[in-house]
């Protein structure tokens, strides 16, 4: 433990500047190398980008509270744009909602979805494998989760077109109210109203995750309000993230032809490839926590009430954790311990669903595509906290 206190490195660069967003890793490396904790003048928050400090913040939920929200402002002081979610709560409120959710979504309940989740991936990849190339984002990554996930929750067809733009609002609100945020919120009321309608008990089919969450009300575990918010959490967090996860995995694998060849020989390694790709190109790059009590982190004093911007994507490339080749993809690396799904109390509940979606798409593509390579520059999405691409042209040769 370092007991000598020091001042944080001061950064004037804005992590939410579109130029930094388009090419984040040089900035993130400077942030990591500047020391354990930095201070960002642009946002008035502290920043952690090293694996050790990110891990400490994520696992010490008493010091680094979620109840202030994941954005730069404290939602308890300023008006929040929607009622707080499980993700914006601390124990004991968090504990009750988390228990209800893990009762519904866990490796056991998710295993049953492999059957229904497979045919849409077969259909999409079969059609794409007939082409000489396609756009891995618009032709595949954006299509697949929308084909399987809303059905798994059990919501009506009507209103599904609002899911992707709603997710875009929710996640962009974890950053400042810049032009990116304002664009995401331009039609916000319509998206929010449609998604809230899909969360109601009357909207659910009888078997999906939504109905199972509502059943927890009958069991006396949660209130109706909490059931609505838990279904909302699935619909908020379950679409954009998996689209970016699939897109980012393909963006990485298109650059590593030897890895693709190795995976074709051994498709059971697909799940490891997905984890290593999530480490390298983490869809959820950053969010804030609120300092609950005066504390010291990495030798820097943090005052209660201030925000800390937690750079998951930078921790996942920290050479002190992953070695000097942290910026490269390697199937020989053990990527377990990455924080792409977070860590600790709030670690992604939906991750068995997300992992299965990503693995199925990759396995089905591996079966039908012999080689895949970039066919033009990927176009990064300008998004406050998610890392991904709006376009990723690839050329392929079909397996025969």
Find, among 268, 238, 290, the residue nearest to 110 by Cα: 238
Q: Is 236 in the site for ligand OVM (CB under 6 A)?
A: yes
Q: Is 170 in the site for ligand OVM (CB under 6 A)?
A: yes
Task: Determine which residue in the list 216, 232, 338, 383 makes contact with ligand OVM, applying CB under 6 A.
Answer: 232
The C-alpha atoms of residue 1 and residue 45 are separated, in whole angstroms, by 24
We find the least distance from the C-beta atom of residue 396 to ligand OVM, in angstroms, to be: 32
Residue given tokens 């066919």 in the structure block: 375
We find the least distance from the C-beta atom of residue 350 to ligand OVM, in angstroms, to be: 8
DSSP letter for each residue of 251-297: HHHTT-HHHHHHHHH-GGGHHHHHHHHHHHT-SB-EEEEEE-S-EEE
Select from 1-9, 149-157, 196-204, 232-240 the region that touches ligand OVM (CB under 6 A).
232-240
**Of residues 154 and 393, the one with the C-beta less far from ligand OVM:** 154
Partners of residue 366 on adjacent β-strands: none
- Count interface residues toward ligand OVM (CB under 6 A): 8
Other Cβ atoms within 10 Å of 152 Cβ, number: 22
We find the least distance from the C-beta atom of residue 248 to ligand OVM, in angstroms, to be: 15
Q: Is 32 in the site for ligand OVM (CB under 6 A)?
A: no
We find the least distance from the C-beta atom of residue 133 to ligand OVM, in angstroms, to be: 32
The answer to whether the CB of 222 falls within 8 A of the CB of 230 is: yes
DSSP state, 156? -
We find the least distance from the C-beta atom of residue 236 to ligand OVM, in angstroms, to be: 4
Task: Return the residues of window 47-106 that contact ligand OVM according to CB under 6 A.
Answer: 85-87
We find the least distance from the C-beta atom of residue 142 to ligand OVM, in angstroms, to be: 18
Q: Which helix (H) or strand (E) holds 245?
A: helix 240-253
Q: Is 237 in the site for ligand OVM (CB under 6 A)?
A: yes
The C-alpha atoms of residue 40 and residue 12 are separated, in whole angstroms, by 6
What residue is closest to ligand OVM based on CB?
233
**Of residues 167 and 298, the one with the C-beta less far from ligand OVM:** 167
Number of H helices, E strands in the chain: 18, 13
Binding site for ligand OVM (CB under 6 A): 85-87, 170, 232-233, 236-237
């Amino acid at each position: 433990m370092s007991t000598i206190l020091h001042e944080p490195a001061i950064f004037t660069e804005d992590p939410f500047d579109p130029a930094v967003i388009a090419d984040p890793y040089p900035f993130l490396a400077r942030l990591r190398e500047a020391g354990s904790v930095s201070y960002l003048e642009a946002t008035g928050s502290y920043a952690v980008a090293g694996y050790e400090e990110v891990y400490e913040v994520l696992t010490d939920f008493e010091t680094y509270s979620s109840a202030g929200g994941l954005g730069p402002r404290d939602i308890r002081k300023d008006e929040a744009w929607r009622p707080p979610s499980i993700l914006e709560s601390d124990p004991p409120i968090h504990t009750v909602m988390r228990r209800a959710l893990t009762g519904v979504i866990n490796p056991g309940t998710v295993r049953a979805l492999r059957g229904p989740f497979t045919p849409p991936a077969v259909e999409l990849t079969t059609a794409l494998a007939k082409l000489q190339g396609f756009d891995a984002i618009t032709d595949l990554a954006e299509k697949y989760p929308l084909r399987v996930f809303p059905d798994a929750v059990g919501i009506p067809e009507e209103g599904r077109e609002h899911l992707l733009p709603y997710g875009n609002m929710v996640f962009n609100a974890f950053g400042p109210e810049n032009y990116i945020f304002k664009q995401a919120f331009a039609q916000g009321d319509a998206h929010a109203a449609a998604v809230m309608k899909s969360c109601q008990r009357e909207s659910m089919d009888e078997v999906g995750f939504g109905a199972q969450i509502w059943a927890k009300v009958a069991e006396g575990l949660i209130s109706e309000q909490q059931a609505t918010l838990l279904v909302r959490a699935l619909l908020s967090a379950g679409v954009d993230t998996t689209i970016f996860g699939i897109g980012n995995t393909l963006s990485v694998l298109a650059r590593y032809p030897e890895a693709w060849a190795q995976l074709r020989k051994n498709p059971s390694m697909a799940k490891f490839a997905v984890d290593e790709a999530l480490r390298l190109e983490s869809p959820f790059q950053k969010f804030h926590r609120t300092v609950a009590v005066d504390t010291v982190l990495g030798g820097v004093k943090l005052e209660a009430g201030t925000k800390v911007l937690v750079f998951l994507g930078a921790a996942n490339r920290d050479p002190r954790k992953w070695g000097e080749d942290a910026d490269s993809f390697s199937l020989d690396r053990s990527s377990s311990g990455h924080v792409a799904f977070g860590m600790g109390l709030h670690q992604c509940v939906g991750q068995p669903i997300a992992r299965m979606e990503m693995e199925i798409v990759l396995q089905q593509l591996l079966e039908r595509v012999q080689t895949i390579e970039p066919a033009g520059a990927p176009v990064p999405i300008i998004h406050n906290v998610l890392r991904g691409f709006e376009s990723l042209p690839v050329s392929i040769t079909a397996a025969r």
